[in-house]
Amino acid sequence: MPEKLHHIIEAQQFSRQFLEEELFPISQEMESVAHDPRWVLNRGDRPLGGKIVCQLFYEPSTRTRISFETAITKLGGVALSTENAKQFSSAIKGETLEDTIKIINGYGHDAIVLRHYEEGGAARATSVSRIPIINAGDGSGQHPTQALLDVYTIWKEFGRVDNLRVAMVGDLVNGRTVHSLAYLLAKFKEVHLDFVSPEVFRIKQGIPEYLERHDVSFTVDKSLDSVLPKVDVVYMTRVQKERMTHGMRFGSQGGYRIDQEALNLLSKDARVMHPLPRNEELPPEADSDPRVVCFQQAENGLYVRMALLKMILG
């Protein structure tokens, strides 16, 4: 009997077996019921019936917060939210994250979805929490549930994750979705990663070393045009302007853009992904190309988060 999922802190904690044997099938099952009003309205025997999940968000969010809240609601639970907790919670009065987490534990909530502005925030929260902490982004650290939905999207689009070549493009030092995705893809066989960024946004230290230790091949490149014809997936990201430190000033998108010319370089079976929100790096004109799947990807977030909550609390 596999151990029940509790905290979700970093992508490295998941095994390939967990993804293939539990997460993907349960996400598919959620996909088949999520929009069925008979299933959704029949709240009494929902997996989260009687459960309260606190959404503690110290940083802005659209998809992550709304998809978690939707997932909780569809599973029959109650979502209580603090958005902008940095300003509207007692954090502004000097309360520590640890104290806030203890208070929510004391109120009898069943889990906390936490987005914090400091790397390591979610891990700190686990040290004082009996109830599961789900990391919904910790500064420029990780965003593991995004990586799970990214890999689920890749698996759905290609029917496999093994033997794919994935380019990650943009702000690879501050972009937490890239960090989690690199760790997660490293669990699969014959995956090749191309990290494409200007020097200032070069892939975060620790990740190349991890990939080397796990025998995952990768390149570090500045030119997008040269990798586009070779890859199966292009994972675009925006420049994390809010995290830029002095000396990191560099255009708004690092100079990369999936325009028609870039699309012409991609193979016909490739896919373009983006965790969103997007800036100039993925113009809306690209959306009509069927290889651009960022909105399907965002929708998959609902199913994957339903599956995770069902596994943790169901």
| CA atoms of 310 and 314, how far apart (whole Å) | 4
Candidates 243, 7, 12; CA nearest to 125 is 7
DSSP 118: S
Give the pairing of strands 78-82 and 52-57.
parallel
Candidates 238, 262, 259, 261; CA nearest to 250 is 238
Q: Of 51 and 138, which CB lies nearer to ligand NCD in the complex structure?
A: 138
Minimum gap (Å) between residue 107 Cβ and ligand NCD: 26
Rule CB under 6 A: is residue 121 a binding residue for ligand NCD? no
Minimum gap (Å) between residue 39 Cβ and ligand NCD: 26
Query: Active-site residue 93, yes or no?
Result: yes
User: Taking CB under 6 A as the criterion, which residues in 216-245 touch ligand NCD?
Assistant: 238
Q: Of 76 and 173, which CB lies nearer to ligand NCD in the complex structure?
A: 173
CA distances from 81 to 1, 65, 72, 234, 298 (A): 34, 9, 12, 33, 20
Rule CB under 6 A: is residue 116 a binding residue for ligand NCD? no
Query: Active-site residue 214, yes or no?
Result: no
| CA atoms of 179 and 147, how far apart (whole Å) | 9
Minimum gap (Å) between residue 175 Cβ and ligand NCD: 6
The two structure tokens encoding residue 41? 């309205």
Of the candidates 46, 51, 63, 238, the residue annotated as catalytic is: 63
Of the candidates 7, 46, 74, 115, the residue annotated as catalytic is: 115
The two structure tokens encoding residue 243? 């995290």
Please, what is the Cα angle at 58 between 283 and 208, to 5 degrees? Answer: 60
Of the candidates 64, 145, 153, 177, the residue annotated as catalytic is: 64
Minimum gap (Å) between residue 215 Cβ and ligand NCD: 28
Q: Of 18 and 117, which CB lies nearer to ligand NCD in the complex structure?
A: 117
Q: Of 46 and 271, which CB lies nearer to ligand NCD in the complex structure?
A: 271
Minimum gap (Å) between residue 3 Cβ and ligand NCD: 27
Phi–psi pair at 15, nearest 5 degrees: -100, 160
Q: Who's near 111: CB < 8 A, 6+ residues apart?
A: 51, 53, 54, 131, 132, 133, 134, 309, 312, 313
DSSP 44: T
Please, what is the Cα angle at 212 between 18 and 250, to 5 degrees? Answer: 100
The two structure tokens encoding residue 254? 């690092």
Query: Active-site residue 96, yes or no?
Result: no
Rule CB under 6 A: is residue 300 a binding residue for ligand NCD? no
Query: Active-site residue 64, yes or no?
Result: yes
Query: Active-site residue 213, yes or no?
Result: no
Rule CB under 6 A: is residue 64 a binding residue for ligand NCD? yes
User: Taking CB under 6 A as the criterion, which residues in 238-277 touch ligand NCD?
Assistant: 238, 275-276
| Interface with ligand NCD (CB under 6 A), residue from 109, 143, 187, 271 | 143
Q: Who's near 70: CB < 8 A, 6+ residues apart?
A: 302
Minimum gap (Å) between residue 214 Cβ and ligand NCD: 24
Q: Of 76 and 134, which CB lies nearer to ligand NCD in the complex structure?
A: 134
So which residues are the catalytic ones? Answer: 63-64, 93, 115, 143
Binding site for ligand NCD (CB under 6 A): 63-64, 137, 143, 146, 176-177, 238, 275-276
